[in-house]
Structure 1
Amino acid sequence: MKIAVVAANGRVARKVIAEALSRGHEVVAFGRHAENNTQAKDYRQKDILDLTKEDLAGFDAVVDGFGAWKEETLPLYSTTTQHLADILSGTDTRLLIVGGAGSLYLNPEHTMQLFDAPDFPADYLPLSKAMAKSLDELRERKDVKWTHISPAADFQADGERTGKYILAGEEFTLNSKNESVISYADYAIAMVDEIEKGHHIQQRISVVRA
């Protein structure tokens, strides 16, 4: 398959690129910096908001690895996601978003989210709410083949690649050890599996270590 990864120098994006390449897929990486820190041989310097329909034409899937941490940049989660959705509107190209865990639901009625819990870390609240807002806006898009993939709450950059994960839905899920944890490497496996299988169009799914 032909896969584009935007915000490609991010740590999760780099793992997704490595996983996709290891399976023989063709990967084009887009990043706003001149340096290519990914394994992709085809790297194109371009900011997400400067991407055009022509840039992303002909891809089977586009992976959005955008990340922001400062309060003034958090609104870019919505801006960048909607820009990519506009570009891909009406096409067969899938849009896969690297999401967060904070917006996962804690009850079957979907009235309480993880970031509503009293013990949710205050430092992560603005980030989680910005990502949740972006997801809510994405849910309104019926013109794009999007999939939003939330990691477990403990998302480990340097965690081991076990090759196993539990595919879950909108609700916060624990594994058999009562843990909500996954490594970037295992998350990347789940992402590329979803690209290959394409089972969750216009849905949010989540993954946790098996």
Structure 2
Amino acid sequence: MNKKIAVVAAGGRVSRKVISEAVRRGFDVTAFGRKAENMTDAQHYVQKDILDLTAADLAGFDAVVDGFGAWTPETLPGYMTTTEHLCQILSGSPVRLLIVGGAGSLFTNKEHTTVLAEAPDFPDEFKPLAAAAAEVLKAMRQHDDVKWTYVSPAADFQADGERTGKYILGGEELTLNSRNESIISYADYAIAMVDEIEKGHHINQRISVVRA
């Protein structure tokens, strides 16, 4: 049977890549977004804000992908409020929750005492976003009532990067490829996300991906 998935905040660029990848593989995809028109490849579309979603809206799906994104100081708190709302309505259900996470919280040492966002060359303009995404991960670690997976991209997350179809699956630590790079395109990230939905077993774990 084909997987039935929902993607919330479907209008975002990562969300659209995930939707396209899932549809390409024959998934039955329902997109939830704030705009009136469906701007995605999803077969079904519901105009609804994340905070207006109910348990009934998400019942019956195999997985829900949370593609919420924000940049400004006014909208960054939305990371936590939207994630907690999704956790509330998915609590105790068999529906998986996969979160488009950040790279700033990836550990840069084996002892797991320092993270990428603390590196001297980490751009100041990305620190508030990294902090907001890290807070979500911290909160998710407390949720044993939800089947969540937090998917961190590589440090260089490229919106218009090519779809190579190859990636390295990592865990809690910043992973570099054979060229000493931490880079992934949105398209390859989407492949990893859909792979995790399709056959992954990383329940209540953070995983990470980098271009092979």
- TM-score, normalising length from structure 2? 0.98
Counterpart check, 1:76 vs 2:78:
yes
Q: Give, in whole Å, the separation in 1 of the partners of 2:154 and 2:37.
A: 30
Q: Which residue of 1 aligns with 2:106?
A: 104
Q: Which residue of 2 aligns with 1:128?
A: 130
Q: Which residue of 1 aligns with 2:66?
A: 64
Q: Give, in whole Å, the separation in 1 of the partners of 2:18 and 2:202.
A: 18
- TM-score, normalising length from structure 1? 0.99
Q: CA deviation at 1:181?
A: 0.4
Q: CA deviation at 1:26?
A: 0.2
Aligned length: 210
Provide the identity percentage: 73
SS of corresponding position for 2:56: coil
One-letter code aligned to 2:104: G
Q: CA deviation at 1:36?
A: 1.5
Q: Give, in whole Å, the separation in 1 of the partners of 2:143 and 2:43.
A: 33
SS of corresponding position for 1:30: strand
Unaligned runs of 5+ in 2: none
Q: Give, in whole Å, the separation in 1 of the partners of 2:144 and 2:26.
A: 31
Q: Give, in whole Å, the separation in 1 of the partners of 2:103 and 2:185.
A: 13
Q: Which residue of 1 aligns with 2:41?
A: 39
One-letter code aligned to 2:15: A
One-letter code aligned to 1:52: T
Alignment of 1:8-47 (within 5 A): 8-47=10-49
* Contact 2:28/2:43 (<8 A) preserved: no
Q: Give, in whole Å, the separation in 2 of the partners of 1:198 and 1:162.
A: 20
Unaligned runs of 5+ in 1: none
Q: Which residue of 2 aligns with 1:141?
A: 143
Q: Which residue of 1 aligns with 2:57?
A: 55
Q: CA deviation at 1:198?
A: 2.9
Structure 1 residue ranges (4+ consecutive) displaced by more than 4 angstroms after TM superposition:
none
Q: CA deviation at 1:65?
A: 0.3
Q: Which residue of 1 aligns with 2:157?
A: 155
One-letter code aligned to 2:175: T
Q: Give, in whole Å, the separation in 2 of the partners of 1:61 and 1:3.
A: 5
Counterpart check, 1:175 vs 2:166:
no
Q: Give, in whole Å, the separation in 2 of the partners of 1:81 and 1:156.
A: 24
Q: Give, in whole Å, the separation in 1 of the partners of 2:113 and 2:89.
A: 32
Q: Give, in whole Å, the separation in 1 of the partners of 2:153 and 2:37.
A: 27
Q: Give, in whole Å, the separation in 2 of the partners of 1:59 and 1:18.
A: 17
SS of corresponding position for 1:147: strand
